[in-house]
Each structure stands twice: as structure tokens, then as C-alpha cells.
Structure 1
Amino acid sequence: MLKAELRKKYMQKRKALSSDEAFLLSGKILEHFIEYFNPEAGQKIHVFIPIEKFNEIDTRLFIHYFLSHDIRVFVPKVIEGQLLNIEIFEETEFEVSSWGIPEPVSGQDSGETFFDYVITPLLYCDRRGNRVGYGKGFYDRLFQSISPSAKKIGVNYFDPEEYIDDVWENDIPLDYLVTPVEVLSFLSGLE
């Protein structure tokens, strides 16, 4: 299927989830992430903050877990079309952006380019690790600017079904997908 078709289909499927279902499934995704990757104190994790109106995975659960286990947390903030990597702490203050995303008040980019994990937003991911996002390309540019050793991890309520037919040359596939049911690796034995 084409990205535009998948974007529409999975946006509708996500919106059909109740807030209780989304919270429960987000918790299961976090459990699978912890069980599979076993993040440790001192590691650096880049994680998106959910857009509630789009019923995204509730990564606030992830952020709370990471901060309470002394894992360094970085979140995106978009300023003038550029995605910055802002390190956050328990006391970090947030404001809602024009896109409805809670972002740190601070616009101070950490300058960090080495992350152990980058937890990536998406609407859909196929069985090759290709993803459909919102079409702005922020994460493809982020992936190009950070250490290639960072594990690129998508999180989704739904398992892959169809393949994405219109993958572009500059699209960077994920390394893993975490769902409420399983963790899929797209590394083809390179682990």
C-alpha cells in the first residue's frame, strides 16, 4: 500500500482506541521494551512526547520509568523547522507547541549525537522496518545526524500487515518495532 493510504488507515485505527485501551497497550509496549532492551542507568534515550489528540503511544510512561532509573532522557523540540534534542529532568517545565505537543520550555539543544536508543513515533511500520510517519521527515533527518550505533526503535499499537510500496531513497528504516505483543528486529542477524 502507499504511505498516504496507510497513514489514513492507521490514523483511523488509532483514533478508534479508547483512552483506557491506549494507556493499557502503551504499558504493554513499555514492558516489552524493558524486557527486550534492559535499559541501564547512564544510558541515553531519545524519546518523543505523545500528541494526545492523535492517540499516540503514551511515552510519558517510558519517560517516568527512565528518569526514575537514572537513564538520561532527551526529547525533540522543533524550532524554526529544526528538530533539537533537549535533555529533560524531573523538574523540566513544558509548554504545548502549536502542534499540540508538550515541549520543554528551554530551547537549549543538548548537542548530543550519541544515543543508545531512539524511540520513534510512527503511524505504521512494515516487516522491513520501513515506517510511515506524518510526512515531515524530522526523524529521517535526525537519524542522519546521530551516531549510526543508536538503535532506532518504533513503537506501535498494531503489528505489520501490508508492505509500504512507496519507500523513498532517503527513508531510513527502523532497527526494531515494539508492539503490545512482540518485539520485531529488522537487523537480519546483525545483532
Structure 2
Amino acid sequence: MKKSYLRKKYLEKRESLSDEEIFQHSENIFRNFIEYFKPLAQQKVHIFIPIHKFKEVNTGLFTDYFFSRNIKVFVPKIVDTKLIAVEIFADSKFELNNWGISEPVSNEDSGVLDFDYIITPLLYCDKFGNRIGYGKGFYDGFFESVSKESKKIGVNYFNPDENIDDVWEGDIPLDYLVTPRDVLSFFNKGLE
């Protein structure tokens, strides 16, 4: 299937989810992530702040857990058309940007490139780790700049059931996908 078709389809599927379903799915995704990856103190996690109007996975569950366990937390911020990684703390200040998205007040790029985990937003991911985001390419550029050892992990409400036909050579696939039901690995270019 083409990205444009899948983007529309999964935006509609996500839009149909109730607040209760989003809450429950987010909790299951969080639980699956923690049980599978078992993050440790002093590890570095890059994680997105959810856009609530787009019904994204509630990553607040993750950040609260990370802060309580001395895991370092970094979030994306777009500065001059580039995605940077800003380190945040439990008392960090946030503001709404021009698109109504919450982001840290700080514009200071942490310079960190060796994340242990990069928890990534997406609309859909196929069984090869190819992801569909919102079409801006920010994460592909970011993935290109970080350590190859950083685990690129998508979180989504839906398991893969359709392949993406129009994968571009600059698209960088995920290493894992965490859903409410499963943790899927793409290291063999297909589901393990």
C-alpha cells in the first residue's frame, strides 16, 4: 500500500479511539516496553511529547517512570527546521509552539548522540520496520545523526498488517515496534 493511503487510514483509525481506549492502550504499550527493555538508571532515552489532539500514545507514563529511576530523558524540539534533543528534568518548563504542541522552553541541543532508546511517534509501521509519520522527515534526519547502537523503537496502537510499497531510500526503519499486544523486532528485516 502507498504511504498516503496508509497515513489516511491509520489517522482515521486512531481518531476513532476513545479516551479510555487511548489510556488503556498507552498503559499496555508502556508495560510492554518496560518488561521487554528493562531500562536502567543513567541510561539515555529520547522520547516524544504526545500531541493530544492527534491522539498519540501517552508518553507521560514513560517520562514519570524514567524520572523516578534516574534515567536521563531527552525530548525532540524543532529549531531552524532541524530536530534537536533537549534534556529535560521533572521541573523543566514547557510552552506551546505555533502548532499547539508542548515543547521545552530551552533551545539548547544536548549534543547527545548515543541514546540507549529513541521512542518514536508514528502513524503506522509495517512488518519490516518501515514507519509512516506525518511526512516531514524529521526523524529520518535525526536517526541518520545518532549512534547506530541507539535502539529506534516505535510505539503504536496497531500491529502491522500491510506493507508499505513506496519506501524511499532515505527512510530509516525502526529496530522495534511496541504495541498494546506485542514487542516486535525488525533485525532480520521481518518479524521475529
- Which TM-score band applies after superposition, normalised by the shorter structure? over 0.9
Aligned match of 2:84: 84
Give the deviation of 1:165 after TM superposition: 0.4
Aligned match of 1:111: 111
Tell me the distance in 1 between the aligned counterparts of 2:98 and 2:50: 14
Give the deviation of 1:88 after TM superposition: 0.3
Tell me the distance in 2 between the aligned counterparts of 1:20 and 1:101: 22
Tell me the distance in 2 between the aligned counterparts of 1:58 and 1:186: 24
| Aligned alpha-carbon RMSD (Å) | 1.2
Give the deviation of 1:182 after TM superposition: 0.4
Which amino acid is 1:143 matched to?
Answer: F
Aligned match of 1:30: 30
Aligned match of 2:183: 183
Cα offsets for 1:53-97 (capped at 9, x unmatched): 100001111111111111000000111211110000011000011
For the pair 1:9 / 2:9, whether they are aligned, the reply is yes
Which amino acid is 2:43 matched to?
Answer: Q
**Contiguous gaps of at least 5 residues in structure 2:** none
Corresponding residue SS for 1:158 = coil
Cα offsets for 1:29-50 (capped at 9, x unmatched): 0000000000000000000000
Give the deviation of 1:9 after TM superposition: 0.3
Matches within 5 A, 1:1-150: 1-150=1-150
Give the deviation of 1:99 after TM superposition: 2.2
Identical columns (%): 61
- TM-score, scaled relative to structure 2: 0.97
Tell me the distance in 2 between the aligned counterparts of 1:42 and 1:172: 27
Corresponding residue SS for 1:28 = helix
Tell me the distance in 2 between the aligned counterparts of 1:39 and 1:123: 25
Which amino acid is 1:137 matched to?
Answer: G
